[in-house]
Amino acid sequence: MATQHYDLQEQEQLAQLKAFWAKWGTPLSALVAALALSYAGWTGWSAWQNQKAREAAALFATFDQAIEGKQPERWQRVLQDMADVANQATLTELARLRAAQATAQSDPKQAQQYLEQAAAGAPTVELQALARLRLASLQVAQGQAQAGLQTLTWDWPEAFAGLVADRRGDALQALAKRDEAIAAYQLALSKLPAEQPYRQLVVIKLEALGVNSKQPS
């Protein structure tokens, strides 16, 4: 295009644009292409993730039916399918928590494995915390109080402070550390909300240790 139809300022701007494009045109084109490919890849990844989420939801429904129907061989098979399809997804880790609850009495070693997997792989801090609480309780019940204390050594969300203190009290009591257990239970009472029914159980634990604890309001 001829430049004589433009005034001097326009011609200067065109010359600057040509010089800029001569220097940066190829890298910019490559960048645009890369961004387009990245967006296409992200869109494909998102669609793939959505598909996996739908498959996990369908499997979880089947898993739930098998759990309720007390069909261990079936729900174990479905849980493995969930792990293959969407390992560490929320529904998969929720299924592991339910599986641990279902096997705690009959196969505590397997239950512990489910809880360890959920504690390590759950996608939210809340699910990880719930898995750790249950794991610590199971460890104490299985005579692994020291391991339970180790499980409770973690960067807990404040909302779990009362329950963590209670579990620590259980572990300390199992280790015959009465005074430390009492202190842990008292901390639990101070951290648990006033309307939390679980507080009464903590009071019973304290009374069993000879402490007439008056629940704070």
The answer to whether residue 27 sits within a structural domain is no
**Do both 67 and 134 map to the same domain?**
yes
The answer to whether residue 78 sits within a structural domain is yes
The answer to whether residue 11 sits within a structural domain is no
The answer to whether residue 39 sits within a structural domain is no
- Summarised one tens digit per residue, pLDDT across range 37-89 is 455 454 443 554 566 678 888 999 999 999 999 999 999 999 999 999 888 88
**Do both 168 and 147 map to the same domain?**
no
Q: How confident is the model at residue 17 (pLDDT cuts 50, 70, 90)?
A: low
**Alpha carbon distance 147, 196 (integer Å):** 27
**Do both 128 and 113 map to the same domain?**
yes
The answer to whether residue 151 sits within a structural domain is yes
111, 123, 138, 173, 179 from 176: Cα distances, Å: 26, 36, 18, 5, 9
**Do both 125 and 188 map to the same domain?**
no
**Do both 64 and 147 map to the same domain?**
yes
The identity of residue 146, as a single letter, is Q
**Do both 193 and 216 map to the same domain?**
yes
In this prediction, residue 212 carries a pLDDT of 85
The total number of structural domains in the chain stands at 2
pLDDT-above-70 percentage for the chain: 74
In this prediction, residue 87 carries a pLDDT of 86
**Do both 142 and 217 map to the same domain?**
no
Average pLDDT of the residues in 97-125: 95
**Do both 68 and 150 map to the same domain?**
yes
Closest to 57 (Cα-Cα) out of 97, 99, 96, 85: 85
**Do both 120 and 180 map to the same domain?**
no
**Do both 150 and 165 map to the same domain?**
no
Give the domain-ending residue among 136, 155, 174.
Answer: 155
Q: How many CA atoms are closer than 13 Å to the CA of 209, on its beta-carbon side? A: 23
Give the domain-ending residue among 102, 124, 155.
Answer: 155
**Do both 188 and 213 map to the same domain?**
yes
In this prediction, residue 51 carries a pLDDT of 66
The answer to whether residue 129 sits within a structural domain is yes
Residues contacting 146, CB < 8 A, separation 6+: 171, 175
Give the domain-ending residue among 155, 184, 209.
Answer: 155
Give me the domain span that covers residue 195: 161-217
Tell me the pLDDT of the chain averaged across its residues.
83
The answer to whether residue 1 sits within a structural domain is no
Task: Kindly report the CATH number assigned to the domain that includes residue 108.
Answer: 1.25.40
**Do both 126 and 196 map to the same domain?**
no
- Summarised one tens digit per residue, pLDDT across range 143-173 is 999 999 999 999 999 999 999 999 999 999 9
